[in-house]
A = this chain, B = another copy of it.
Amino acid sequence: MKSIIIASTSTLHGGSYLEYLLPTLKQHFFNCKSILFIPFARPGGITHNEYTQKVAAEFATINIAVKGIHEFENAENAVKTAEGIFTGGGNTFLLVTQLYQQNIMQVLSETVKNGTPYLGTSAGSNICGLSMQTTNDMPIVYPPSFQTLGLIPFNLNPHYLDPEAQSKHMGETRETRIKEFHAFNSIPVLGLREGSWLEVKGRKITLKGDLSARLFLKNQNPEELATESDLSNLK
């Protein structure tokens, strides 16, 4: 049975890394003595080791060991045999490029669909959708495809930002960007605000956290979904 946490962000303003999620993660990974960490998104360009150490320090507080996928000789085996898997945030173009280059996009999808508990934050959440086409990130590398894990039957926009009424900036708002996506694609897009996450248990998808999320469907007005909404039928 699928068991997945898909979080908008790893860190809330004023909080430390993963802090707000730790009670949830303790439950989510309760059967795991160790988890596999995928550091490929490399936020700010930090190394795989530096990123893995940061994650290991937090998971140590709930008594879970962390090993980075770059430490394994065979990445495919590392995914298949993991007790649990966490893909961290950073740049989604880089993450997706690496997953394809290391030939683990498909095995990661299959493994998580078969029940290995998964956590994604930010870029690691973006890849849970059908494609990475609603990411906010810069195209710093050219991925062989925009298709992603397809663990849920829609797309995500993590770190969703409401338009600022008083802004004098003329760049597109997040809502405008998603509207442009829908001029060429019909996949639903869920704007997940910082502090929200999706809980996937088998076929059930539930919105968690204190906030509402913003749902964008092609040719329809956006809709606010309250926390605890059931998204199982969204596709």
**Interface residues in chain A, defined as those with a beta carbon under 8 Å from any beta carbon in chain B:** 9-14, 42-45, 90-91, 93-94, 132-142, 145-146, 159, 161, 168-172, 176-185, 194
Contacts and interface: CB of A to CB of B under 8 A. Distances in A.
Contacts of A94: 180, 184
B142 A138 contact: no
B140 A183 contact: yes
A178 B44 CA distance: 9
A5 to B, nearest CB: 17
Contact of A170 (B13, B133, B142, B177): B13
B138 A45 contact: no
Contacts of A142: 133, 145-146
Contact of A138 (B10, B133, B169): B133
Contacts of A145: 142
Contact of A139 (B13, B139, B176, B183): B139
- Copies of this chain present: 2
Contacts of A146: 139, 142
Contacts of A10: 170
Contacts of A14: 168
B184 A141 contact: yes
B44 A176 contact: yes
B194 A140 contact: no
The 9 closest A-B pairs by CB, nearest first: A45-B183, A159-B171, A13-B168, A140-B181, A138-B177, A9-B170, A133-B139, A91-B180, A142-B146
